[in-house]
Amino acid sequence: MLIAFQGEPGAYSEAAALTFSPGASVLPCPSFEEVFAAVDSGRASHGVLPLENSIGGSIHRNFDLLVEHELPIVAEVEVLVDHCLLGMPGTALDDVKVVYSHPQALAQCEKALGGMRGVELVAAYDTAGAAKMVRESGRRDAAAVASRRAAEVFGLAILRESIQDFADNITRFCVIANPRERTGEAAVAAVKVQDANKTSIVFALQSRPGALFKALAGFALRDINLTKLESRPLRGRPWEYAFYVDVEVPAADAGLQRAVADLREFSHWVRILGSYRAWKA
C-alpha cells in the first residue's frame, strides 16, 4: 500500500497515513491537489487528507476537492496534534525573531506565540515544510511550529514543547482510494468497507422556502444522527451552495437509502462521498 499525503516527512498528515496503515509506504506531495492526482492516476493506492481540526475548524479546500474528484472516502483517522517550537541546534528562545508554520498551526498556538515579543509570524505550506525551511536556511533567529517527528527528520532542537492553546487539539482526516468503477455512486459501491457505520453525503438544494428543513427531515424522521452539516459555495453559481452531511449509519442502511431518496426530491444533485468506519481512539 502506498499512501499519498500533503507535506514533508514529519507532517501530521504523514502521521495520519501511518496510523491508518502502520506498514504502508508513503508518498509526500506538495499540495492537496497532488494527493488527489496521485490516487486518481494510480500512482498511489490511497490518499490521506485533513478535513477538520477541533480548534481551527474545516479545511475547506479538501471538501471542494472531494466533489471535484470521484475518489470515495474509505476510512477516517484522528490524530492528536502536539505542536512544538523548533529551531536550529544552539538557538535560544530569546533569539527567535520569525516563526514559520501552516496558518492553522499558527492559529492553534496563538497564546504562546503572542507572548513572544517582536516575533513575526509567517505562513508556510506545511508544518513539516516550515521545519525544513528553518533547517535549510540555517538561521538562528528563525523557528518553526511543527511536530516532534519533524524535529527528528530535519535535525532541529525543540525550543518549547506542547505550545498549542488547547490540549485537546485533534485533526480528523479522511482516507480516499481509487475504485475500479469511476462514476458517481458506483465508485462508492466498488470500495466496500467492512463494518462501515458512517456515511458522507453532499447535495445541492433547489432554492425554495424550507428546502433545507425538508431535505434534512428525512434523516430526522428515521432517527439518523447527523454528526456534521456544512455549506460550501458552488463555484460558478453565485449565492448557491452545496451541503455536506455526515451521518452515523452505513450507506447500505435501508433507512438512509429512503432518506437519500427523499433528499433527491429537493436537490439538484446528491452524491455519496463514502461509507466507512468511524474513528475510535
Query: What pTM was estimated for this model as a whole?
Result: 0.88
75 with 92, same domain: the answer is no
Cα–Cα dist 237/88, whole Å:
48
Regarding whether 177 and 71 lie in a shared domain, the answer is yes
Shared domain check, 106 and 72: no
User: What are the angstrom distances between the C-alpha of 220 and each of 57, 213, 248?
Assistant: 25, 10, 12
CA 232 – CA 61 distance, rounded (Å) = 10
CATH of the domain at 56: 3.40.190.10
- Please give the pLDDT value at position 207: 78
pLDDT on residue 147: 95
Q: What integer pLDDT is reported at residue 171 of this predicted model?
A: 94
Same domain? For 184 and 196 the reply is no
Do 173 and 211 belong to one domain? no
**pLDDT computed for residue 194 by the predictor:** 79
> Are both 234 and 135 inside the same structural domain?
no
pLDDT the model gives residue 167: 86
pLDDT at residue 253 in the model: 95
3-state secondary structure of 54: coil
How many CB atoms lie under 10 A from the CB of residue 209?
Answer: 7
Report, as residue numbers or ranges, the catalytic residues. Answer: 171, 173
* Predicted pLDDT of residue 243: 96
DSSP three-state, residue 60: helix
The per-residue pLDDT string of the chain (281 residues; one tens digit each, 9 = 90 and over) reads 999 999 999 999 999 999 999 999 999 999 999 999 999 999 999 999 999 999 888 999 999 999 999 999 999 999 999 999 999 999 999 999 999 999 989 999 999 999 998 899 999 989 999 999 999 999 999 999 999 999 999 999 999 999 999 988 999 999 999 986 555 565 555 567 879 999 999 999 877 888 899 999 999 999 999 999 999 998 888 888 999 999 999 999 999 999 999 999 889 999 999 999 999 86
Q: How far apart are CA 239 and CA 251, in angstroms?
A: 30
CATH number for position 261: 3.30.70.260
167-183 b/e (C-beta count within 10 Å ≥ 16 → b): eebebbbbbbbbbeeee
**Same-domain pairing of 40 and 151:** no
Q: Which domain holds residue 147?
A: 84-160
- Residues 201, 77 share a domain: no
Secondary structure tally for the chain: helices H, strands E: 10, 15
Are residues 279 and 200 part of one domain? yes
Tell me how many domains the chain contains: 3
